[in-house]
Amino acid sequence: MAKEYSRTQRIGDQMQRELAELIRREVKDPRVGLVTITAVDVSRDLGHAKVFITVMGEETPDAVQQSLKALNSAASFLRLHLGRSMQLRSVPQLHFHFDESVSRGVHLSALIERAVAEDRAHKEADEPDTKE
């Protein structure tokens, strides 16, 4: 029976839950806004973890960079607390990255809605008036 859910995925999911709580509760840096952790990708040897985040509210490039800088500087602090809450022999190094998939998805959704609205407007303009 093949494993459908590997150990690194389970560790990544647990790290995602723990980090979300730790950032909300323990990180007091004002540069960190409303941060949402979208995914944690743990390397196979458990040495490194890429933590993908989105910043809710202001998604200006400057606000995102400030949040990333603050989180990367707090990575060792967060790693220490992760080591206390998770029962792992070694806790991976944390590397925070901005997840652009959410903003890209919103942009694509807006493009699709605009195309559908334009298509509907063209169909209505092309239909002859049947009431005459």
pLDDT over 90 percentage in the chain:
43
Alpha-carbon distance of 121 to 125, in angstroms, equals 6
Beta strands 48-56; 34-42: pairing state = antiparallel
Cα(74)–Cα(102) distance, integer angstroms: 24
Per residue in 41-67, pLDDT (tens digit) is 999 998 999 999 988 876 778 888 888
Separation of first and last alpha carbons in the chain: 69
Average pLDDT, the chain: 86
